[in-house]
Amino acid sequence: MMDTQLELSLRIWDHNQNLFLKTLNAYSEEDLNRIPEGFNNNLIWNIGHVLATRMLLTYGLSGQQIPIDAYWIDHFRKGTKPEALVSADRIEELKSIFQSSLEQIKKDLGTPGFFKDYKSYTTSTHFTLDGIEQAIAFAGFHDGVHLGSVLALRKLI
End-to-end C-alpha distance for the chain, whole angstroms: 43
> Quick check: 140 and 117 in contact, CB under 8 A?
no
pLDDT of residue 94: 97
Could you read off the pLDDT of 86-123 as tens digits, one per residue? 999 999 999 999 889 999 999 999 999 999 999 999 99
CA distances from 157 to 23, 26, 95, 143, 154 (A): 12, 12, 20, 21, 5
H/E stretch holding 103 reads helix 88-109
Burial of 143 (0-12, 13-18, 19+ CB in 10 A): buried
Question: DSSP string of 49-97?
Answer: HHHHHHHHHHTGGGTPPPSS-HHHHHHHSTT----SPPPHHHHHHHHHH
Apex 63 CA angle, 58 and 67, nearest 5: 60
Residue span of the structural domain in which 67 resides: 4-156
CATH value at residue 22: 1.20.120
Q: How many domains does the chain have?
A: 1
pLDDT of residue 3: 64
2: pLDDT confidence band, cut at 50, 70 and 90?
A: low
133: pLDDT confidence band, cut at 50, 70 and 90?
A: very high
Query: 123: alpha, beta or left, given left = phi > 0 and alpha = psi -120 to 50?
Result: beta
